[in-house]
Amino acid sequence: MSAREATPRPRHSDAHVTLYRLQACPFCERIVRKLEELDIDYHSRFVEPMHGDRNAVKRVVGARTVPAIIDDETGVAMAESGNIADYLDATYGGGD
């Protein structure tokens, strides 16, 4: 996992999770589904399809890949949908 110190919540967000996503990206939709399933309030930021134009994501998680999330409640910022899904389950899944 490549978790980093989270940046503060975006000014325009009421939600503690910020999701960097790309329109129609199936990996991003997987995380949206996970957030909804766990009833986590989230704020979407959409980035460009062109990988090289995603510096906003790079600054947050160190890579230009989406999805990426910032969780300002736990201070976690991370990329890669598999990692994110595991993190959300572990943190908000409530256990079995």
Partner 1 sequence: MDLDFEVVDLPPADHVEAGDEAPDFTRPLVNDEFWEDVALSDLLADAPVLLVFTPMDGAFPSTYIWNELRDRGMDEYGVQVVGVSISTPYEHMTTIEERGIESFAGLFSDPQNGVAEKYGISHSLDGMAGVSEPRPSVFLVAPDGTVEYAWVADEWPAFPDYDAVEDAVIGL
Q: What residues line the site for partner 1 (CB under 8 A)?
A: 10-13, 20, 43-48, 53-56
Residue 58 or 89: the one with the smaller Cβ distance to partner 1 is 58
How near is the Cβ of 27 to partner 1 at its closest, in Å? 17
Residue 8 backbone class (left: φ over 0; alpha: ψ -120 to 50; beta: rest): beta
> What is the nearest approach in angstroms of partner 1 to the Cβ of residue 4?
18
Structure tokens at 25: 């990206």
Judged by beta carbon, residue 36 or residue 53, the one nearer partner 1 is: 53
User: Minimum distance between the CB of residue 16 and partner 1, rounded to whole angstroms?
Assistant: 15
d(CA 61, CA 84): 12
Beta strands 68-71 and 17-21 are antiparallel
